[in-house]
Structure 1
Amino acid sequence: MKIICLAFLALVSISSISSTQTDRYQTRTGSISFEASVPTFEPIRAVNKSTTVVLDMKTGNIAALALVKGFRFPIALMQEHFNENYIESDDYPKAVLKGTLSNFDANGFSQNTSTTFILNGTLELHGQKKMISIPVLLSQSGENIQLESNFNLKPADFNIEIPSVVSNKIAQEVQISVKAILNKK
């Protein structure tokens, strides 16, 4: 009888764990790009294609993690300056976003539709945490959810200093673009 009870408890535990896991979508190949270009100067842009993004379909919670050294620039010297002089990636190796999609209802979210939600949460970058509120577009197709977001950030909000020598060559607001295809886990 003890063996039957233990087997039943194990089965219930496994099924509750797997039902929890099926409510989570994630990727490790999300893409974050940014552009800080100003007209008449060399374009300043980079992309990171190894961003981890997790969406909990029960709660609407989202978490994202990008290693700062994962950003790739078309010019190696820009990448070096970005990591050493601006973002100081040895001291601040990652950017972390955590938040909740407002008015998110997984039951109202259906196949082949796109819905924009507002993500309210915190972004930690360069050792600074800032409350943010950004639009997030979710689209479901088959077993995947596509996530997209476009928003602006100010380097000054994260204590990222731009030397006066180059301040006219770098935008005061950086355009951020996030794209990820999340798979059911």
Structure 2
Amino acid sequence: MNTEYLKDVIDGYPVISKLNVNDLEAGDHTFWFRVGTNALGQWQHLPVMVFKGKEAGKRFVITAGVHGDEYNGILTSHQIGEALKGKVTRGSVVIVPTINLSGTLNHNRDYISNDPDHSTANLNRFFPGNKEGNEAQRYVFNIWEYLLKPNADLAIDLHTQTSGTVYPLYAFADYRMPDCVKMAKLIGLM
């Protein structure tokens, strides 16, 4: 799969419907990823930041905003993006600051369907999505198949407490994977 550039440009940034970081030149890139349409048939676009080094290396993905009202992860992903500008020398980092556009825009944890026959949905329960499924499943399928999966050797999905709740700091990691153990140690979880 190659990066698919559409003919649109929004706020000076190209619109894509597929991303393959291997296609990109080394450096910092910003895109809008066309993920689906809203109830009016207008395209919905997710912001995507890509930082690619000159040397080959692991492909790392950071996502946030799977739950639309978890703002700390969204803000943290932007801060990470600012800190990485001009600094990635090996491999790549793809940051998608908000996965759940409708939830974020409506200050809601769930994905808000455009289909009046479907209720809201917890997108975290729909990965990897379904090309032939309901609206939320198709939305997640496009993100998974054309943005995340092709570009990730390692991934972090940032979550935080939902509005009105209090949680302790914790992380889930698959300790069977050496890279997960290494990341957990680096952030002080082990």
TM-score normalised by the chain length of structure 2: 0.30
* Larger RCO (alpha carbons 8 Å, 6+ apart): 1
Q: Which has the higher strand share?
A: 1
